Structure formats: C-alpha cells, structure tokens
C-alpha cells in the first residue's frame, strides 16, 4: 500500500473528538423538534429535566427506569440529537454490544471507559490526563449509559472515580450530567457461582451513587 503523504493526526487532532464533531454535523442537518414532538408525556418530562441539567451545567445523575419497549432508546437518541444539534459532545454507551448498536454513535461501556475485566471496590483504570480519552471526557457535556443494571456496581463507581480525577472535580462523574438507564427486572449483574445476597449486593441499587 502507498504510504500516507500527510500527517493526518495533525490535521484531525484528537480522533475521538473528531468522531463526535462528525455526529454533531449530522445532527445539525436534522430538525430535533420533529422527534421531540413524538415524545409522550413521561418521555417529555424526562427530556426537559435531563436537557435542563445539560444546558445549565448542573452535572446531575439520572436513572431512567423502564421496561422493554417503553421507548427508552428513542428518548436517549432524542436527547443526544438535541444536545449535538447545538454543539455539545454526548457520549452514548451501553453495557452490551447489541444495545450499543441502537444508540446513535453508541459504543460498549467497557471499550469507551476502558473498564478492566476484574473490578474491585477500589479499582481505577490507567487513563492518563494527557490521553485522547481524557481530553474527550473533559469536553463531554452528557453521558448516556444504557442497560446499566447488568453492570457490577464497582464498574460504575470506577468510572465515577476516574472521571473525577480527569476533570479535577469532586462532583459525581466529574460534574458531567449522566443518564443511567435500564430495567432491574430484566437482568442483574452476573456473579459466577454467586448466591442471591451477592448478586443483590453487586447491584447498582447498593451503590453510593
């Protein structure tokens, strides 16, 4: 193959931020009001509350609870579309690969946050403040994390500690507005050979967050 004739890293800069800028460009070619008008009353209430936190930099944590086929993914994409339309960076992740494909710009949580396979209650992942991911998270206004009940609570707490360190903030998730969503009736964290008490203890409901 021919060798590249230009330094593309210098042209693009941070490739992760560049990918999100492309999502912003696509969102700016769409009228978000069309999808906003399709929200029902419950979705509209959640939309107004979450976007208010993003626009006012409140850094609030939300949990969007809903069963299957209640429109959670549609709401996630609508919120992300609106925020990207006005130039904000939105990181959309899911705990499973299938769920991440349904989110616009979605990735798995483990790949996005570099969550280690074996997570303890005091784990931190080795992400330097000079890395591309750290630069992306400092520019991020909103994180949407779908199917979070299937994650061990230590995974979510590890992301929380790391973002606080990267953003130099003691606020939860470094002051970034975070939407956690899912349904505890569908699937819980998998604990190998675990008994009921261990599974319940690993649930996000027992997290300090």
What CATH number corresponds to the domain at position 66?
3.40.50.300
Confidence of residue 8 (pLDDT cuts 50, 70, 90): low
Average pLDDT over residues 13-37: 93
* Mean pLDDT of the residues in the chain: 91
**In the predicted model, is pLDDT for residue 9 greater than 70?**
no
Instruction: Tell whether 54 is covered by a domain.
Output: yes
Instruction: Tell whether 7 is covered by a domain.
Output: no
Provide the whole-model pTM: 0.91
CA angle 116/121/124 to nearest 5° reads 45
Instruction: Tell whether 140 is covered by a domain.
Output: yes
DSSP-based helix, strand, coil % in the chain, nearest 5: 50, 10, 40
Number of domains in the chain: 1
Q: Are 173 and 64 in contact (CB under 8 A)?
A: no
Angstrom distances, CA of residue 16 to CA of 13, 20, 123, 134, 165: 9, 7, 25, 10, 20
Average pLDDT over residues 140-167: 94
Confidence of residue 11 (pLDDT cuts 50, 70, 90): low
Upper half-sphere CA count for residue 4 (Cβ side, 13 Å): 6
Instruction: Tell whether 46 is covered by a domain.
Output: yes
What is the distance between the alpha carbons of residues 27 and 13, in angstroms, rounded to a whole number?
21
Instruction: Tell whether 4 is covered by a domain.
Output: no
Tally DSSP H helices, then E strands, for the chain. 10, 5
Instruction: Tell whether 6 is covered by a domain.
Output: no
Instruction: Tell whether 9 is covered by a domain.
Output: no
Domain range for residue 80?
Answer: 14-206
**In the predicted model, is pLDDT for residue 138 greater than 70?**
yes
Instruction: Tell whether 55 is covered by a domain.
Output: yes
């Amino acid at each position: 193959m021919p060798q590249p004739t230009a330094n593309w890293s210098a042209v693009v800069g941070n490739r992760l931020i560049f990918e999100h800028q492309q999502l912003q460009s696509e969102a700016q070619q769409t009228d978000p009001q069309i999808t906003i008008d399709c929200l029902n009353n419950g979705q509209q209430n959640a939309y107004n509350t979450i976007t208010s936190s993003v626009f006012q930099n409140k850094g609030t944590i939300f949990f969007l609870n809903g069963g299957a086929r209640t429109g959670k993914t549609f709401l996630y994409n609508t919120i992300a579309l609106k925020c990207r339309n006005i130039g904000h960076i939105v990181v959309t992740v899911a705990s499973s690969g299938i769920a991440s494909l349904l989110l616009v710009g979605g990735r798995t949580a483990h790949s996005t946050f570099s969550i280690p396979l074996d997570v303890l209650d005091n784990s931190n992942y080795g992400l330097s403040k000079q890395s591309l991911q750290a630069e992306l998270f400092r520019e991020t206004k909103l994180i949407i994390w779908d199917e979070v009940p299937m994650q061990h609570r230590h995974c979510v707490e590890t992301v929380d500690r790391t973002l606080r360190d990267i953003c130099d903030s003691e606020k939860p998730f470094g002051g970034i507005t975070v939407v956690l969503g899912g349904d505890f009736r569908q699937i819980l964290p998998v604990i190998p050979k675990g008994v009921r008490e261990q599974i319940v203890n690993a649930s996000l409901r027992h997290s300090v967050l």
